[in-house]
Amino acid sequence: MKKLLIITTGGTIAGIDHGSGIVPALSGDKLIPDIGGVGISILDLYSIDSTDVTPMHWQKLYSAVTENVRDFDGIVILHGTDTMAYTGAVLAFTLDTDKPVILTGSMLPSDAEGSDAQTNIEFAMHTAASGNYKGVYLAFAGRVIGGADIVKVSSTDKDAFRSYAGFVPDKRYAFPEHGGRLPAVVRLTPFSDGPDISAPAENKAGIVIETYGAGGLPDNGITAVISGLARTMPVIVTSPCMGGTDLGKYEVGRRALAASAIDAGKRSTECAAVELWLQINSQPFENDNK
């Protein structure tokens, strides 16, 4: 008989609404069904709306997975959907395991009419027990998406996630012992000026700048600011659009490359920010794109 460990961390999937908005409150024993032929253990690790997630929560989750993974055939993690992409990327870049580690969540609390909570939990458990997956994935609304490639595309539709660009990490990072060196993440808009980009980077060890489409920088002071920042820290250019960036495609993208910015390629903003956080906490910065 296959043995699964279910780790709960909160989110809508554990949520109830007593009139002041949905809050995570249900423990795993109230949520996990018997799917037959699978032995279940439950670890209620913490109970937060995933908006409250911090690197400290990732540390706890990473430790819980690494300490238990040897004793089970797979792990299912119940997690809030809002920051699923960040947690998926953290685990995908740091866990080196042949076992399935399957994230899931839901858009509606388990007691809401038409809730997707039970379906998603069962889907995640079957995915983990199937023997077809190794490593970190999201199982949600019938889709199975790589852990570093998760993007939430709807705050209302039950089919809320997509694969961003098919990104699969080809290297692993040690989980940071301290993780205190943080990246800045900023969004480029037609209203942005140089200080909008440089101010958030102060006291940070790297910056992700989410631009547009295939990626690029405008013909104004921002590019000079980026060029200056790139001398002291990694500057990663990402896109809000699924499919990711290709900085060689347009002149505006080549402008970013000329400013020594790094092309995120198939990495979503969340994925690039997580990898940057892991990089800046594990090795000194060297920009080889100069």
- The residues of the shown chain that bind ligand ASP, judged by CB under 6 A, are 11-12, 49-51, 80-82, 105, 107
Is 82 in the active site? Answer: yes
d(CA 273, CA 170): 16
The number of CA neighbours under 13 Å toward the Cβ of 29 is 0
Task: Provide the minimum distance between the beta carbon of 123 and ligand ASP in the complex, in angstroms, as a whole number.
Answer: 16
8, 9, 12, 245: the catalytic one is: 12
From the number of C-beta atoms within 10 Å of its C-beta (0-12, 13-18, 19+), residue 258 rates as middle
Report the alpha-carbon distance of residue 111 to residue 123 in Å, rounded: 18
Residue nearest ligand ASP by beta-carbon distance: 80
**250: annotated active-site residue:** yes
Q: Which is nearer to ligand ASP, 110 or 223 (CB)?
A: 110
Q: Whole-angstrom Cα distance, residue 234 to residue 76?
A: 34
In one letter, which amino acid is 96? D
Nearer to ligand ASP, 120 or 192 (CB): 120
8, 9, 49, 81: which one is catalytic?
81
Q: Is the CB of 23 or the CB of 258 nearer to ligand ASP?
A: 23
Q: Which two tokens stand for residue 131?
A: 């023997």
Q: How far is the CB of 180 from ligand ASP (least distance, A)?
A: 25
157-167: burial string, b at 16+ Cβ within 10 Å, e else: ebebbebbbeb
Q: Encoding tokens for residue 148?
A: 């570093």
Judged by CB, which is closer to ligand ASP: 11, or 100?
Answer: 11
> Shortest distance, CB of residue 285 to ligand ASP, whole angstroms?
32
Q: Is 173 a catalytic residue?
A: no
Q: Is 30 a catalytic residue?
A: no
Least distance in angstroms from the C-beta of 146 to ligand ASP:
20
3-state SS class at 70: helix
Q: Among this protein's residues, is 212 annotated catalytic?
A: no
| Active site members | 12, 81-82, 152, 250
